[in-house]
Amino acid sequence: MFEFDQYLGFLAFLAILTIGFWLLIFLTAIIPYWIGGALMERLREIKESKKSKQ
């Protein structure tokens, strides 16, 4: 059926595929959420600083 080197190649392929899948999920879901939260917090700080100046 499979020789040992083919088995290792298949396992390497599965590992790379899995890493790529989770990296794609991370880049499309977590990074924009983090950037959006940071922007909202920054805008809130700017509004509060304007209120305190008045």
Q: Please write the tens of the pLDDT for every residue from 24-53.
A: 999 999 889 999 999 999 999 999 998 888
On whether residue 3 sits in a domain, the answer given is: yes
Number of domains in the chain: 1
Record the tokens describing residue 38, joined without a space: 């940071």
On whether residue 33 sits in a domain, the answer given is: no
Virtual torsion, Cα 21, 22, 27, 30, nearest 10 deg: 140
On whether residue 46 sits in a domain, the answer given is: no
**Domain range holding 14?**
1-26
On whether residue 41 sits in a domain, the answer given is: no
Burial of 13-40, coded b for 16+ CB within 10 Å and e otherwise, reads eeeeeeeeeeeeeeeeeeeeeeeeeeee
On whether residue 34 sits in a domain, the answer given is: no
Q: Does position 22 have pLDDT exceeding 80, yes or no?
A: yes
On whether residue 35 sits in a domain, the answer given is: no
